Amino acid sequence: MITKQFSPSLMTMDLDKFKEQITFLNNHVDSYHIDIMDGHYVPNITLSPWFIEQVKKISDVPISTHLMVTNPTQWVDQLIEIGSEYICIHAEVMNGIAYRLINKVHDAGLKFGVVLNPETKIDVITPYIDLVDKITIMTVDPGFAGEKFIDSTLDKIRHLRDLRYTNNFNYLIEMDGSSNKDTFYKIQKANPDIYILGRSGLFGLDENIEKAWNTMLQDFNDTKQHI
């Protein structure tokens, strides 16, 4: 049985309190979610491999890098060198290079994740689903914090659980987008393994990261009691 995991999205943290927030979260979270956007695949630019290096200076928590980029090949080598424990790439940009990228990441001793946009069907990744370590379901349109939650994406989480059980696959199932007090109930019913927490679910709850974390955990557990 997989224990539920929390992965804060550092794109939404208070960078003025970088060290304070990371130092606290190091003792509470299962991984950090770091978005790299190139301004082409999505109309936004965020974070960078340099940012991952800064996190690793003060943290041993695994890093999951989410590449929202048009050309993932140009980023993978640098992320391997830095040692991002998970390198996650959108299925929509992997046609023709999926096996090459998966093998490169695995050969480096790291884990490979694939990300599906709300409109993308699971069938797209069927050829290599048995090779991936994590599948991230976008529950919002990618590119910006604060996007509206898309309820229909939860069906993919349920389907991925069924596929994993039926075929004895080993991937983790992650949800990304608008995970908070208002959506915890329906997300928990779909039952992903990893919850990515952003501004509405964590960092925006209080200026004090400990109070924000405790509020999130209370909201999550209160909701869980009603499942």
Active site residues: 35, 176
Two structure tokens written together for 49:
């491999």
Instruction: Kindly report the backbone phi and psi dihedral angles of residue 166, in degrees, each rounded to the nearest multiple of 5, phi listed first.
Output: -65, -35
CA 62 to centroid of chain Cα atoms? 12
- Are 132 and 153 a contacting pair, CB within 8 Å? no
Q: CA-CA distance, 98 to 91, in Å (whole number)?
A: 8
Rounded to an integer, what distance in angstroms lies between the CA atom of residue 88 and that of residue 66? Answer: 5
DSSP string covering 65-109, please? EEEE-S-THHHHHHHHHHT-SEEEEEGGG-TTTHHHHHHHHHHTT
Distance CA 145, CA 192 (A): 20
Measured distance CA(93)–CA(110) in Å, rounded: 20
In whole angstroms, give the CA distance from residue 70 to residue 94: 9
Give me the residues paired with residue 38 across strands.
Answer: 45
CB 207 within 8 A of CB 185: no
Which residues are registered as beta bridge partners of 175? 137, 195
